Chains A and B, each alone.
Chain A
Amino acid sequence: MTTQLPAQPASAPVRFPLALKLAVAMIVVVTLAVAAVSAIAIRREQASFKTDLQQQADLLLDSLTASGADILYRLQLTSLRNLIGALNSSKAIVDGSVYDDTGHILVRADALDADASALVDPFGQQILASSETIFNWQTGRLVAGKAVVLGRQNIGAFSIALSTASLDVKTAALLNEGLLVAGVAILAGAVLSLLLSQSLTGPLRTLATATHSITDGDLSQTIHVRTQDEFQELASAFNTMVIRLRETIDSLKRRADELAQSETKNRALIDALPDAIYLVDRTGTFRDAKKIATAKSSASLELGELFPEQIIDRLRDVIHQAPFVAGITRIDYETQDAQAQTHYFEVRVTRSGAEETLLLERDITDRRRAEEELRRAKEAAEAASQAKSGFLASMSHELRTPLNAMLGFTSILSLGMLKGASPLAPSQQNLLQKVEHNGLHLRDLINNVLDLAKIEAGHVSVVITEGRPHVFLEETISGMRSLALNKSISLDLHFAPDVPQVVLCDVRKLQQIVVNLVGNALKFTSTGGVTVEVCAPDPEKWQIVVRDTGVGMPPDAAQYIFEKFRQVDGTDQREYEGTGLGLAIVKNLVELLQGTITVESGVDHGSTFTLSLDQRLERKTAS
């Protein structure tokens, strides 16, 4: 399998190398940073110089005030002139003045011999109006003034002017130093940035060369970078990527071979299938097809021609929806051939990929015909069974009516209740008793047959209600104690503590089951007794266990004793009479109650019947 890659444009020559860009960017950044730092430093130094000059002026004014307050108080002009004249000896102090308490200039350093001014000096007034030192920055000098206050008296003020020449010299020197430092920093930054750029772009070029080789199909390329930084990490990752890429390509080749083999197998398998197989897209357009000989051998690759009109619309819908539906959708149809023979087909539609749908068409005519025959046989058997059950029910009823009449008359004769009749002789009485006994046995047989017939005919309904086991089972067992008493054996009923007080069940049918099981146990027990134990082994079940000490039966008898008309002693001379229907009725009733019944027994070891019932039966009323 090969993939056609789009044509790559030829790589353009590098006009602006990354190293150059990085170097230019870093030089610009360094230049801006150094310029900004230098500007800030110069500004701060200028501010510091100004502050220093103001502090010097303030200090001088404090000294002037301390030295001249008393002579200013006395207005001793000569002394004041001497004081201000002393300022002229300093190059730093370019002027000085003394003001009286109204703002008039008393003495000026540049005109010591002049008389006091008659005009009020605005700066003097400004000084006198403030409790702080007043600073006035002028071209080439700083003028500072401060009022002299003694007690509450503003007695005048002093002012001095300091030359800012030293400040200008310092600022110029600072600017020169800043420019020199900036130049050196920029030069150093440029060299460093070039070196750094080279160290960055070298590994990148190596990576680019290796990438080009891989693009050309050479997967044997590896990169060796020993820069101990992210580039080395990148080179390592690149080498790992190349190895992974090589492994992936090898793996893809192996998988392509395996896929080709698998496709060959699948094609053989498809060819071997008897079905016709079509691959269509969502619009019903055929993409692939495997046709085999069918009754529709002349079909073409059009839906309308392949399938009958009756399913075309439905088939189109199913094909359209198939990509979005999980599982298989089945569509059956039938056609008639030229001999008017009907043929049956099924079409299975399933998703095959995101945009394709698979159609499998199979001729199911033979299977459909076999199923039809089977259905007819089943219906016939069910009808026969129902007819049999109906017949038995009807016959049992018809038999029971005259039998009851016979039993009634036999009882009247036996009890001498017939008016005008002479007493029966003992031999007659004996015969009558045999007639009555056999009549009763025949009635039981008919009743059991009738019950079984009803069950099998589906005429017995289950009524699930709440019942109290302690009550209805005690009531059932109490009614049978006389039978045990007549045989001088025991009949006990025990409830385990975990037995629920109320259960959901069909009480009548459960009583019928228990009567059957206990009746059987009493019948086959001559010594010892019968024990009925009720328990609840888990929260979902409860059990009734009927255990006797009777004759028991072989272990393999459990396989058939629940069948109709089956007893362990199947001989004509059997000791225990019975219809052989009791346990069959019990089993049917147990199944109606969704329970199970098992038996454990051994010859001369008694029998144990265990009836298990669900505690969670749904409540159901008679319908």
Chain B
Amino acid sequence: MIRPFSSKVAMLFMLVFLVACSTVPATPTAVPTVAPAAQPTATKVLTIGQIGSSPSSAIPKFQPLADYLAAHLTDYGYSAGSVKVAPDFDTMVQWIKSGQIDVLFDSPYPAMILVDRSGAKPFLRRWKGGISEYNTVIFARTDTNIRTTSDLKGKLLALEEATSTSGYMLPKAYLIDAGLKLVEKASTSESIDSEQVGYIFTNPDDDSNIVQWVISGKTPAGAVNSQTYDKLPDKTKKLLTELGRTETVPRHLVLARANLDSAIVDAIKALLLKLDTTPQGLEILKQFEKTAKFDEFPGGTDTALQRMRQLYELTQKQ
């Protein structure tokens, strides 16, 4: 889940070496200016939570929404918005329970885990990336002669990470439902039983790694969310064979900690629902990972989580 730190150090070392050896004056770069950090006050801070390995990437995307919500919740004692990025589920569950996180967003499978472990409550659907729901495409490199999911026996499948909805839960449930037996492998060199389908996790937070692994031959097959697969260039798609698509699930869920005042939840809900109706709101949505809007779950929140729970239970049987 955490990108190997050694690569960052190597990059920095290379940069230091280049700068030290440079005799040509470096091109002037604008010194980034930032607003001073909000000073702690007696009023409350609305905190949005996120699980991820790169706070520096996530916080700038979430901060405008946090600021917007806090600015419109002054009647409830909020004066500032904040973003906290947890490295893992345990930390996030702890923060939710301790009240350090008020609102968070995630796909159905991690949302289900957080609901189950922290009591958080989903209350809206988020159109992350401009779509309301998505599924997973299972594909193989064409020159491997894998044409159906049954052909995956004895082959290695590239998946994203164990907490991903589209990169793990949906394809695994889909293949188990198809009667296949899946076994996790730590490396691509491990042997795979001819009656089993091996799977290996690539770097988290990046679907393109999986496509790259398949194209480059590290694994013969992989699974990515339909949004990523459908945007692949035609030249790339010609090299791949689509083996199947999983069922569709909501793209993202909005959750609130269990003990957050229902009036505040309602107020946040109202603000999020009308966010796509104003230019300021649209700009915030655009920065917030190109979210199109927020809406109610068509079949209710329980329905969405219940299906995810069924899929989870299906995967737990193996």
Contacts and interface: CB of A to CB of B under 8 A. Distances in A.
B87 interface: yes
Contacts of B82: 151-153
B13 A89 contact: yes
A92 interface: yes
Q: How large is the interface on B (under 10, 10 to 19, 20 to 34, 35 or more residues)?
A: 35 or more
A55 B20 contact: no
B55 A150 contact: yes
Interface string A50-89: 0110011011101110111111011010010011001101
B85 A73 contact: yes
Interface string A129-141: 0011100000000
A597 interface: no
Interface string B37-65: 11000000000000001111001101100
A62, A69, A150 — which one has the most chain B CB atoms within 10 A of its CB? A150
A90 interface: yes
A352 interface: no
A153 B59 contact: yes
B62 A151 contact: yes
A69 B36 CA distance: 17
A588 interface: no
B178 interface: no
A316 B36 CA distance: 108
A341 B90 CA distance: 164
Interface residues of A, number: 40
A83 B82 CA distance: 27
A154 interface: yes
B35 A69 contact: no
Contact of B33 (A58, A59, A71, A131): A131
B263 interface: no
Interface stretch (B23-31, B184-192, B251-259): B23-31
B232 interface: no
B83 interface: yes
Given A58-B31, A87-B16, A90-B17, A152 B37 contact: yes
Nearest to B15: A63
Given A93-B20, A152-B63, A66 B31 contact: no
Given A93-B20, A150-B59, A151-B83, 15 more contacts: A60-B16, A62-B29, A63-B11, A67-B11, A70-B53, A70-B54, A70-B56, A74-B55, A83-B12, A86-B12, A90-B17, A90-B20, A131-B33, A132-B33, A149-B37
Interface of A: 48, 51-52, 55-56, 58-60, 62-64, 66-71, 73-74, 76, 79, 82-83, 86-87, 89-93, 131-133, 147, 149-154
24 contacts: A51-B28, A55-B27, A58-B29, A59-B15, A59-B26, A60-B19, A63-B12, A63-B15, A66-B56, A67-B8, A71-B8, A73-B56, A73-B85, A74-B55, A83-B8, A86-B12, A86-B13, A90-B16, A90-B20, A147-B34, A149-B34, A150-B59, A152-B80, A153-B59
